[in-house]
Structure 1
Amino acid sequence: MTTTGIDWSSTETPTTAEGWVARAAEVSALLAVDAAARDRAGKTPYEEVKLLKESGLVTLLGPAEHGGGGQEWPTAYRVVREVAKADGSIGQLLGYHYLWFWAARLVGTPEQVAAVEEQATRDRAFFGGAVNPRDDDVVITDEGDTLVYRGRKSFSTGSKVSDLTVLEGVLEGTDKHIFAIVPSDTPGLVFHDDWDNIGQRLTESGGVTIDGVRVDWAGAAGYRDKQFTPRVYNTLNVPTIQLVFVNFYLGIALGALEIARTYTRERSRSWLHGGYERAVDEPYVIDIYGDLTAKLWAVEALADKVAEEALVIHRDPDAVTERLRGEHEVRVAAVKARATEVALEVTAKVFEVTGARATASSVGLDRFWRNVRTHTLHDPVAYKRREVGVFVLRDELPEPTWYS
Structure 2
Amino acid sequence: MSTVTNTDWHNRPAPESAQDWIARAADVAAVLATDAAARDRAGATPHAEVQLLKDSGLVTLLGPTEHGGAGQDWPTAYRVVREVAKADGSIGQLLGYHYLWNWAARLVGTREQWEHVEAEAARNRWFFGGAVNPRDKDVTVTEDGDDLVFTGRKTFSTGSKVSDVTVLEGVLEGTDDHVFAIVPSDSPGLTFHEDWDNIGQRLTESGGVTLDSVRTPWSSAAGYVDKVFQPRVYNTLNVPTIQLVFVNFYLGIAGGALETAAAYTREKSRSWLHGGHERAVDEPYVIDIYGDLTAKLWAVEALADTVAAEGQKLHDDPDAVTEQTRGDFEVRVAAVKARATDVALEISNRIFEVTGARSTATAEGLDRFWRNVRTHTLHDPVAYKRREVGRWVLEGELPEPTWYS
TM-score range (shorter-chain normalised) is over 0.9
For residues 3 and 387 of structure 2, the distance between their equivalents in structure 1, rounded to whole angstroms, comes to 46
Shift of 1:3: 4.8
Residue in 2 that maps onto 1:211 = 212
Residue in 2 that maps onto 1:315 = 316
Residue in 2 that maps onto 1:112 = 113
2:224 alignment partner AA: Y
Residue in 2 that maps onto 1:191 = 192
Unaligned runs of 5+ in 2: none
For residues 27 and 7 of structure 2, the distance between their equivalents in structure 1, rounded to whole angstroms, comes to 9
Residue in 2 that maps onto 1:370 = 371
For residues 273 and 29 of structure 1, the distance between their equivalents in structure 2, rounded to whole angstroms, comes to 37
For residues 6 and 185 of structure 2, the distance between their equivalents in structure 1, rounded to whole angstroms, comes to 28
Asked if residue 352 in structure 1 is aligned to residue 357 in structure 2, the reply is no
Unaligned runs of 5+ in 1: none
Residue in 1 that maps onto 2:150 = 149
Shift of 1:143: 1.4
SS in 2 for 1:190: strand
SS in 2 for 1:152: strand
Residue in 2 that maps onto 1:227 = 228
Shift of 1:43: 0.3
Tell me the number of residue pairs that the alignment of Structure 1 and Structure 2 aligns. Answer: 404
User: Contact 1:28–1:85 at 8 Å: present in 2 too?
Assistant: yes
SS in 1 for 2:363: coil
SS in 2 for 1:362: helix
Residue in 1 that maps onto 2:40 = 39
User: Contact 1:104–1:112 at 8 Å: present in 2 too?
Assistant: yes
For residues 370 and 177 of structure 2, the distance between their equivalents in structure 1, rounded to whole angstroms, comes to 39
Spell out the pairing of 1:86-105 with structure 2 (5 A cutoff): 86-105=87-106
For residues 292 and 6 of structure 1, the distance between their equivalents in structure 2, rounded to whole angstroms, comes to 37
For residues 45 and 401 of structure 1, the distance between their equivalents in structure 2, rounded to whole angstroms, comes to 32
Shift of 1:281: 0.6
2:226 alignment partner AA: D
For residues 33 and 135 of structure 1, the distance between their equivalents in structure 2, rounded to whole angstroms, comes to 40
Shift of 1:137: 3.5
RMSD: 0.7
Asked if residue 127 in structure 1 is aligned to residue 128 in structure 2, the reply is yes
SS in 1 for 2:287: helix
Spell out the pairing of 1:19-30 with structure 2 (5 A cutoff): 19-30=20-31
Asked if residue 379 in structure 1 is aligned to residue 395 in structure 2, the reply is no
For residues 51 and 275 of structure 2, the distance between their equivalents in structure 1, rounded to whole angstroms, comes to 49
Residue in 1 that maps onto 2:73 = 72
SS in 2 for 1:69: coil
Spell out the pairing of 1:247-258 with structure 2 (5 A cutoff): 247-258=248-259
Query: Which is worse superposed, 181-190 or 128-137?
Result: 128-137
TM-score (norm 2): 0.99
Shift of 1:208: 0.2
Shift of 1:184: 0.1
Query: Which is worse superposed, 299-308 or 106-115?
Result: 106-115
Shift of 1:311: 1.5
User: Contact 1:135–1:154 at 8 Å: present in 2 too?
Assistant: no
Shift of 1:175: 1.5
SS in 1 for 2:169: strand
Deviations 1:18-70 (A, max 9, x none): 01000000000000000000000000000000000000100000001111010
For residues 352 and 256 of structure 1, the distance between their equivalents in structure 2, rounded to whole angstroms, comes to 13
SS in 2 for 1:71: coil
Q: Cα gap change, 1:302/1:3 in structure 2, threshold over 3 Å: closer, same or farther?
A: closer
Deviations 1:81-104 (A, max 9, x none): 000000000000000000000001
For residues 312 and 97 of structure 1, the distance between their equivalents in structure 2, rounded to whole angstroms, comes to 21
User: Contact 1:166–1:180 at 8 Å: present in 2 too?
Assistant: yes
For residues 150 and 12 of structure 1, the distance between their equivalents in structure 2, rounded to whole angstroms, comes to 46
For residues 229 and 17 of structure 1, the distance between their equivalents in structure 2, rounded to whole angstroms, comes to 34
User: Contact 1:150–1:212 at 8 Å: present in 2 too?
Assistant: yes
SS in 2 for 1:49: helix
For residues 26 and 346 of structure 1, the distance between their equivalents in structure 2, rounded to whole angstroms, comes to 24
2:108 alignment partner AA: V
The structure 1 segments of at least 4 consecutive aligned residues displaced by more than 4 Å after TM superposition are: none
For residues 131 and 352 of structure 1, the distance between their equivalents in structure 2, rounded to whole angstroms, comes to 39
User: Contact 2:134–2:170 at 8 Å: present in 1 too?
Assistant: no
SS in 1 for 2:161: helix
For residues 258 and 16 of structure 1, the distance between their equivalents in structure 2, rounded to whole angstroms, comes to 26
Shift of 1:227: 1.0
For residues 220 and 3 of structure 1, the distance between their equivalents in structure 2, rounded to whole angstroms, comes to 37
Shift of 1:182: 0.2
SS in 2 for 1:140: strand
Shift of 1:297: 0.1
Residue in 1 that maps onto 2:283 = 282
1:187 alignment partner AA: P
Shift of 1:136: 2.5
2:20 alignment partner AA: G
For residues 101 and 229 of structure 1, the distance between their equivalents in structure 2, rounded to whole angstroms, comes to 20
Query: Which is worse superposed, 129-138 or 194-203?
Result: 129-138
User: Contact 1:61–1:76 at 8 Å: present in 2 too?
Assistant: yes
Shift of 1:13: 2.0
Shift of 1:138: 1.1
Query: Which is worse superposed, 1-10 or 348-357?
Result: 1-10
For residues 277 and 192 of structure 1, the distance between their equivalents in structure 2, rounded to whole angstroms, comes to 53
Shift of 1:15: 1.5
For residues 94 and 346 of structure 2, the distance between their equivalents in structure 1, rounded to whole angstroms, comes to 23
Query: Which is worse superposed, 110-119 or 157-166?
Result: 110-119
1:295 alignment partner AA: K
SS in 2 for 1:150: strand
